[in-house]
Chain A
Amino acid sequence: EIVMTQSPATLSVSPGERATLSCRASQSVSSNLAWYQQKPGQAPRLLIYGASTRATGIPARFSGSGSGTEFTLTISSLQSEDFAVYYCQQYETFGQGTKVEIK
């Protein structure tokens, strides 16, 4: 079973700054990785699939990169609505999440 490890657990960022979230797979998953955003009391929303393809309607400030075992989600300039928990996912396995909070 592949294990997905996200870091950091919590990221404190000021509005307008860049946020960089990491996801590591315990073995190579090629480019088979998705990212989701979840706000309190809401369902997760797909942001990125195929490691780097933005889902429909996702703003360009969200970008994904990486392949193999190391992946990154970058939010170029944090907006107030971006403060949330972010999960990576490979097949049936989710990372434990990174909470992006206001600094």
Chain B
Amino acid sequence: EVQLVESGGGLVQPGGSLRLSCAASGFTFSDHYMDWVRQAPGKGLEWVGRTRNKANSYTTEYAASVKGRFTISRDDSKNSLYLQMNSLKTEDTAVYYCARGIADGDGDNWFDPWGQGTLVTVSS
């Protein structure tokens, strides 16, 4: 069974840092792009960023709202994805989901599956 399990969420003060992890199982993790998507309380979905696979040089992309503050990394030997979040703001409060990104090579991409999410609360 393909599964993604996030961890590391919690309460952090504005300006603080937090590192989220996502453990993958049931598929060849190293072959796939991996993404982070977040959802503020009562709001819609917002893409956070992506790490591509080794074949695509592990390149990363970020949403403008987090660029320069968040860093995505992966450890293929541990089937794990990470999100290092620095300089956190109250508006970063959200449930953070990791998701496997699937690209068809023709410009299309989608996310499947998703983890259950981990809540990050930024508050003083």
With A and B bound together, what is the CA distance between A38 and B99 in angstroms? 14
Q: Shortest CB–CB separation between residue A73 and chain B, in angstroms? A: 14
Chain B contacts for A49, CB-based, 8 A: 102, 108, 110, 112
Query: In the complex, which range does the number of interface residues on chain A fall in?
Result: 20 to 34
Q: Which of A23-42 contact B (CB under 8 A)?
A: 30-34, 36, 38, 42
Q: Report if A16 contacts B (CB, 8 A).
A: no
A94→B45 contact, CB < 8 A: yes
Knowing A34-B110, A46-B111, the reply to whether A94 touches B44 (Cβ < 8 A) is yes
Whether A8 is near chain B, meaning CB under 8 Å from some CB there, is no
Interface string of B59-92 (1 = CB under 8 A from A): 0010100000000000000000000000000000
Q: Closest residue to A6 on the B side, CB-wise?
A: B44
- Total A-B residue pairs with C-beta atoms closer than 8 Å? 58
Q: Would you give the 0/1 interface string for B33-57, flagging 1 where the beta carbon is closer than 8 Å to chain A?
A: 0000100000011110010000000
Distance between Cα atoms of A44 and B99 in the complex (Å): 10
Q: Is A43 within 8 A of B110, CB to CB?
A: no
Interface centre among B63, B97, B107, B116 (most CB of A within 10 A): B107
Report the minimal beta-carbon distance from B50 to chain A, rounded to whole angstroms. Answer: 8
Binding site for B on A (CB under 8 A): 30-34, 36, 38, 42-46, 49-50, 55, 87, 89, 91-97
The interface of chain B, by Cβ under 8 A from chain A, is: 37, 44-47, 50, 61, 63, 97, 102, 104, 106-117
